[in-house]
Structure 1
Amino acid sequence: MATTQLTTPVPRRAFPLPSLLALATAVFVTALTENLPAGVLPGMSRALGVSESAAGQTVTVYAIGSAVTAIPLTAATAAWSRKRLLLTAMAGFAVANTVTALSANYPLTLAARFLAGVAAGLAWALLAGYARRLVPVESQGRAMAVAMAGVPVALSVGVPVGTFLGRALAWRVPFLAMTALAVAVVGWIAALLPDQPPPGRSPAADHGRPEPDGGVRAALHVPGVAPVLTVTVLFVLAHTILFTYVSPFLDRAGLGGAADSVLLVFGLASLVSVWLTGVHIHRRLRRLTIGGALLVALTAGLLGLWSHSAPLVHLAALLWGLGWGGAPTLLQTAVGDAGGERADAAQAMLVTLWNAAMAGGGVLGGLVLGRLGTGALPWTVLALLLPVLAVTLAARRHGFPATRGRTGSGVAGPQAGV
């Protein structure tokens, strides 16, 4: 007698928007804490009794804190649950911003900013993977876009608001506001985010031989990881040169009064780019990365040839935002896909190199500015973007494949995110 088997359909998981918004707010805290000193430098320098240039080093030391500690801390905390680690990072931001707001001592302020950078190194190594593992593979791009939206919102909204509060009230007020927001995010994460266990242990660890570098060297040998990291360094270096020195560039071009509107256009276009990336990243990561690099290269060309034309400069800012806004999502997704079971180590390397490239962009841009003048800045950016395009085009099989769906280790996406 034949039997009929009834199969119960697997319920479709609801998109976890509240949890992803908690991650987006954590990203916002991370990005705004990094950039906030730039908007309150005059008041900060007067209160600390140092020059504005010295006060500006609070941004540099933040990047150094992230760059030098991301890999060691990832290795040291490999056995921690991801939720516990993320809560620790957010608590670190609360402490660091409180000390920064209350300090009247320059060395103490630098130490607090270094601590904030350490917290950022932990957070950046976690946030992308956390978002990826909350959803099935076909929704990972959308989840990453929601989480990473905190970056352009911080730059286009957070920094101007923080600058306004610093001028209207006192430079310490925005940092205290960031403390309050970090505390709120701690509660939000504790209440809503599901816990995630530490990533799967490596074969060496299973045989009692833990990897002292957290698997970094092994991750570098995974096909696709090195190309993504190479693109990351060059792309971030190019963007940082342009972003850091856009004000003096516009001043020398006779458009100093347009700096606010140019950055506003850039920020709004970045938000559009984040949305477009979330919609299309699952099937078009390679095309989006190539398109983003081409748009930023076109930006550099426009600024290099027509820097005195306000309409064309604003058009360049629009293209710049469209090309760059989705880059954090694209690059973190690419390195997570490529890293597979080594994704944590790959993400830690990306965080380290990202921050090193930010620091290097400030130094390299300053050298170009001092020796060749502002007119050489766009062409320097264009020269860096040419190898970005070359490496991305060459990494068709691993790193930036034409289609997604499997990671570099052959493990399906959701299991490889953190």
Structure 2
Amino acid sequence: MAPTTASTPLPDTAAVRPRLPLAALIVLALMGFILIAAETMPAGLLPDIADGMDVSEGTVGLFISAYALGTVVVTIPAITLTSSYRRRPLLLIGTLGLIVANTVTAVSADVTLSLVSRFVAGGFSGIIWGMLAMYAIRISPPERAGVALSIMSTGAPLGFAFGTPLAAFIGISTDWRWSFVAFSILGLIVAALTLIVVLDAPGQPPTERLPLWKVFRLRGVPVVLGVIAVWMLAHNTIYTYIAPYLRATGTGITPDLLLFVYGVASLGGVATTGVLLDRHPRALLHGSVGIFVVAALVLLIGHTSPAAVVVATAMWGLGFGGAPAQLQAALTRAGGANSDVANSFLPVAFNIAIFAAGILGAALLTTFDPLILPVVMIALGAAAFVLTVSARRSAFSGA
């Protein structure tokens, strides 16, 4: 579920186009937006879904975990098994499968069926994530592959920034089920646009590459994946259960407002990453994790102050907004000639952390006050910082 960097190797058979297919790349970016928003939308609707289905908020948090688990299980096999398939039919199959599963969640009155439908939705998401980056490359001129990937990759951060707040706004204004319906409708629109403006492309021919387990053991790759897992777990545990945290603060701030603040600030993190990533990758990463930990401290110590909570959330977004691009750049460097295979581990690591966050948060909230959430954010964020510093030569090289 993370954006792909321009350093992905270009296939020799990439289709040559006279101009950049801007409209097609925007459609692919919209697909990325839907994938992220569909995964995280329950975070802004926890109380509404819990009341509507007469279950606990911890159970609703598992809606995100089930989706993430589906992505974890499917992504790498999907990349392996569908690499030779034509791109547009595969994208349409994945999109329609996601729409059907999402619609089942919207109408389901049974929590077990809802969790199964979320798992299936995550599986189709894994199929789509496994092909988006190379699809963008194959329909673009080889010399402009970097620009193509940059455009396509904007969907993921925009999904984090605005997808969850938008779903929360729709759900709070109407009914939580309409949030899922709205994203199913958006998926249908994207499917139609895919047929109209996105060129088809052949699958990838067989290429020589290291086996997955050998790529995983390349110097630096395990450490980068460890940072991804720990930092994402720190982020998503409180992000998923932001509603209980806000109730515990007594500030009166609503989840949709706070998630919007986070989203806008995260765009600042994305922009900062775009400016500094090539020149100062290591310093940028250390600074981002450091800001993230400071934000967690303020969320804990200043939780009774509305201003402090809002400022801390803005810092949180600024620190974490560029994390996917920063960590993918590090993973690409560690993967070297096999960076495309190494990058296939990225959405898996992200979604393992998302899956674990739903379970961890649910377990903590059955025993502790919701203020335990920023404590977890501090502890895991600090662990991520220690990993980035200790591996500054093996995995996080650069200025």
Q: 1:56 to 1:358 in 2, by over 3 A?
A: closer
Equivalent of 1:347 in 334, 340, 343: 343
Larger RCO: 1 or 2 (CA < 8 Å, sep 6+): 2
Equivalent of 1:125 in 123, 130, 150: 130
How far 1:103 sits from its partner (Å)?
A: 4.1
Find the residue that maps to 1:257 and give its secondary structure.
Answer: coil
Q: 1:362 to 1:106 in 2, by over 3 A?
A: closer
Q: How does 1:9-24 map to 2 (within 5 A)?
A: 17-24=22-29
How far 1:260 sits from its partner (Å)?
A: 4.1
Specify the alignment match of 1:253 in structure 2: 249
Q: 1:114 to 1:339 in 2, by over 3 A?
A: same
Asked if structure 2 preserves the Cα contact closer than 8 Å seen for 1:273 and 1:321, the reply is yes
The letter of the residue matching 2:221 is: V
Q: 1:48 to 1:317 in 2, by over 3 A?
A: closer
Q: How does 1:11-410 map to 2 (within 5 A)?
A: 17-40=22-45, 53-128=58-133, 130=135, 134=140, 140=146, 146-190=151-195, 191-193=197-199, 195=201, 197-198=203-204, 200-202=206-208, 215-257=211-253, 259-402=255-398
Q: Which deviates further from its counterpart, 253-262 or 235-244? A: 253-262
Q: 1:298 to 1:136 in 2, by over 3 A?
A: farther
Give the superposed CA RMSD: 3.4
Asked if structure 1 preserves the Cα contact closer than 8 Å seen for 2:44 and 2:242, the reply is no
Specify the alignment match of 1:208 in structure 2: none
Asked if structure 2 preserves the Cα contact closer than 8 Å seen for 1:143 and 1:278, the reply is no
Which structure 1 segments of 5+ residues have no match?
1-11, 205-214, 404-418
The C-alpha deviation readout for 1:228-269, integer Å capped at 9, x for no partner, is 211100110110122123333333232243544332221110
How far 1:342 sits from its partner (Å)?
A: 3.3
How far 1:96 sits from its partner (Å)?
A: 1.6
Asked if structure 1 preserves the Cα contact closer than 8 Å seen for 2:71 and 2:348, the reply is yes
How far 1:358 sits from its partner (Å)?
A: 1.2
The C-alpha deviation readout for 1:35-88, integer Å capped at 9, x for no partner, is 234455666567767566545433221111112222233222233345554343
Structure 1 ranges of 4+ moved more than 6 A: 135-139
The letter of the residue matching 1:339 is: G
Find the residue that maps to 1:283 and give its secondary structure.
Answer: coil
Give me the whole-angstrom Cα distance separating, in 1, the residues matched to 2:73 and 2:122: 9
The letter of the residue matching 1:30 is: L
Determine what percentage of the aligned residue pairs are the same residue: 35
Q: 1:166 to 1:379 in 2, by over 3 A?
A: closer
Which structure 2 segments of 5+ residues have no match?
1-16
Counting matched residue pairs gives 382
Give me the whole-angstrom Cα distance separating, in 2, the residues matched to 1:314 and 1:46: 27
Give me the whole-angstrom Cα distance separating, in 2, the residues matched to 1:247 and 1:125: 32
How far 1:25 sits from its partner (Å)?
A: 0.6
TM-score by length of structure 1 reads 0.78
Give me the whole-angstrom Cα distance separating, in 2, the residues matched to 1:292 and 1:13: 39
TM-score by length of structure 2 reads 0.81
How far 1:98 sits from its partner (Å)?
A: 3.0
Find the residue that maps to 2:278 and give its secondary structure.
Answer: helix
The structure that has the greater radius of gyration is 1
How far 1:344 sits from its partner (Å)?
A: 4.2
Give me the whole-angstrom Cα distance separating, in 2, the residues matched to 1:196 and 1:223: 33
The letter of the residue matching 2:302 is: W
Asked if structure 2 preserves the Cα contact closer than 8 Å seen for 1:58 and 1:110, the reply is yes
Q: Which deviates further from its counterpart, 336-345 or 285-294? A: 336-345
Q: 1:48 to 1:286 in 2, by over 3 A?
A: same
The letter of the residue matching 1:72 is: P
